Structure 1
Amino acid sequence: MTSLPSPQLTPEVIMAQIKRRYVKVPTARNMLTVEPIAAPTATWIEEKDLDGKVNFISGKGGFKKIYQNFQKKSISTVPYGVQFDVTRDEFNFQQYVTVDDKITSAINEFNSFENDYIWNSILSNPDIPTLNVAASWSDETAAKPLKDLQQAKMAIKAATKKRFSPTTVIVPSAVYSELLDFDFVTNALYNNRDVVATGAIPALNGMTIIENDDVDPEGVGQALVCIPGQLGKLMETYPFTVVSSGWEANQNPMIHSTYFMFAQTAAAITHPETAVLLEGLLD
């Protein structure tokens, strides 16, 4: 006699678990602002430089005119997703652990793909300015990390006409490790109880330091100075969606149900001027 099917393994419960876990996992989505769109193509208006400026008004009037050019840009949204099966045995014999592992693996694979897609869109964007540091941060004597960060900060403020100032520096683990050799970092580490407990490098030049290897997938020694959420938009034709089908759809009676998770998005880097890619950080 078989066990009764568990209500914890019904399609409704499994889909709810998938959605809950997807929301709780931080990914590169935090770098962009999410915007739903009702089309398979994302479009946006890019502002160009102003022509004209504010000036003193003559006694006869004579207000100065300001013109601003705009350029319309577009990008197609792309679908991506993954699926997994729950077998009839897993459902009937209440194999929670096995199904839980499948959910975890599917979510991890989905998040990993989406994460790589967004980061590739950011790092491959030719409009994000680059800045070569004066000396590799591997050279503790010649390197000047604080000055390099300040130059990147000033470049962003100049490019945005002082509207924005960067808040975050995202560095790979290798660069993070090099920063630990500088006195201004180690002094802060050992004089701050919270920093000692967490191991996190304190803010530098008023910017939070985040360790994330996604910023340097090739290991060439680069970091991103930016304002998370300001770089652009993740345009969603279809947000993260979960659907299921029964064995009839698979024409396989040994499969109880199949779960599909998918999305269709476009990572549009609409404000590349709010970031600077620091290069040459490692020998």
Structure 2
Amino acid sequence: MLGKMRGTLLAAAAAGAVGGTAAAPLTLQDYLALSGPAPTRHVAYGAAPSQFAELFVPAGAGPFPLAVVIHGGCWTSEFGGITQMRNLAGALAAQGVAVWNVEYRRYDEDGGGYPGMYHDVASALDRLRALAGEHRLDLARVVLLGHSAGGHLAQWAAARARLPRSSPLFAADPLPVPVVISLGGLADLRHEQALIKSSCERDMAQLAGVASAARPDIFSDTSPAELLPSGVHTVLIHGEHDAVSPPRVGHDYARRARAAGDSAEVLLLPGGGHYDEVAATSPSWPLVEAQVRKALGLPAR
């Protein structure tokens, strides 16, 4: 979202207007302008300003399948996130899918980074057990949906059962999630350090902490690729023209997951960039929506 993101995507915007005959991929500015309906409920899971999530409950009696949405933003508070994700949350809620839209402390917020950012995502996910009965949420039908940096956190959250007991992030009974959908995710922290640096200007210490005698490998409990096999099916979706997290990233991760014994697939969005997959009005959205419905066992539309 910084150097490479601004340069590449603004150049694409100059090539043609979104919605035209040959629409360019959505730009960062298009993404930041996204919005959606207000949530049904705002739920704090901690005392910090960023420790909350938004619950979208569809009309009807339920029980409702659930999509847990984790926004991106290069792990920094500089960019939007939860507000923009209301766009797809509203679209999914209109189809009878409940949405848990998660906010969390980024690396540049007090208590964020390692381990706070990870604790936040885990706490938000596990809080669903306390909300399921009241709001008729079907926790047997859950999909994790993460965009960009949120793809990393969604894939990490889905693999929490594999965390080493020695990790400060270990939890004995994490909420199980059978499918995770990564939208332009950056999940392999060890092997994508150069890309994360060029795309987001992030150093690994900001995302994964620093090594110590008790924790010599900072990727052992922060990088989903190090937690394979997770027993989770992973769908890696990338825009054809995504320069922040290009399709190569998804293919590399899928190969590594399959080699470890997990199931993984890659879906390419023709004409899409890094933001099209989270805009419910984009040409890419029906392909993303179809994967969400499939993961939740809902019929195709």
Q: Do they superpose with TM above 0.5?
A: no
> Which TM bucket (shorter chain)?
under 0.3
Q: Which has the higher strand share?
A: 1
TM-score by length of 1: 0.21
TM-score by length of 2: 0.20
Q: Which has the higher contact order (CA 8 A, sep 6+)?
A: 1
